[in-house]
Amino acid sequence: MIDREHLLHRIAQDVTALVDPYDHAESVEVQDGPRRRRRRIITRHPPLLDQLADAVEPSRAAAGGGLRGYASTPSARLDAVDRLLAIDAGAAMWLTVRLGEPLRADTPANLRGLVGAAHWFDDDNLADLAAAVRGWHTWARTVTGWDTPPWRPNAPCPACEYNGGLRVRLGTGTAICVECGAAWDADTISTLGRYVRTYTEVAAP
């Protein structure tokens, strides 16, 4: 039996990170006269969807442009384009096909609509939605940060067996396969790590 309240809370948390700005707290060591002390630094970050859009084309933010037409931009990052389109389509599908709700004005509004209506789902569909939203959240966290490319282990994806599709962000403990869309978060990244380690050990001459 699933914990519905936990899943509803997790869906709301993941959507909030995708569509709303968030604060990140970090403890750093600073010089205070003759002594060094730790100081808590809080930085505000844009929503993950905005960060993903900026990863598609870094100059977009500086130019003040929108999202339309990014797929034809030569310098666009294809993995970010793919994931952004997948989130757009996934949110729309869940809202219209699975819930029977009308489309909202944009993807953030569609995601918020899912949060508001998720309680209508039965247990199985709620678990599926929670997994889908967690996947979108993991994709965005992994692909964003275009100035710090993710690690690309020399191992095939355990889900689709495509070699060259894994993208791992060690700092956030997330990973995705850009070929099939499989995603690993902080709860499952260790499983992927063991798989990659075993594969590379076996493949080594």
- What secondary structure, in 3-state letters, does 136-191 show? HHHHHHHHCCCCCCCECCCCECCCCCCECCEEEECCCCEEEECCCCCEECCCCHHH
Overall domain count for the chain? 2
Domain carrying residue 195: 150-205
Q: Which of 124, 146, 168 is the last residue of a domain?
A: 146
3-state secondary structure of 44: strand
- Statement to judge: residues 10 and 71 lie in one domain: yes
- Statement to judge: residues 127 and 89 lie in one domain: yes
CB atoms within 10 A of CB 70: 18
- Statement to judge: residues 37 and 133 lie in one domain: yes
Q: How far apart are CA 69 and CA 79, in angstroms?
A: 16
Mean pLDDT, rounded, of the chain: 83
Which residue(s) pair with 23 in the sheet?
44
Contact 99, 120 (CB under 8 A): yes
- Statement to judge: residues 142 and 162 lie in one domain: no
Residue 68: predicted pLDDT = 37
Task: Pick 143 or 107 by higher pLDDT.
Answer: 107
Q: pLDDT category, 195, cuts 50, 70, 90?
A: very high
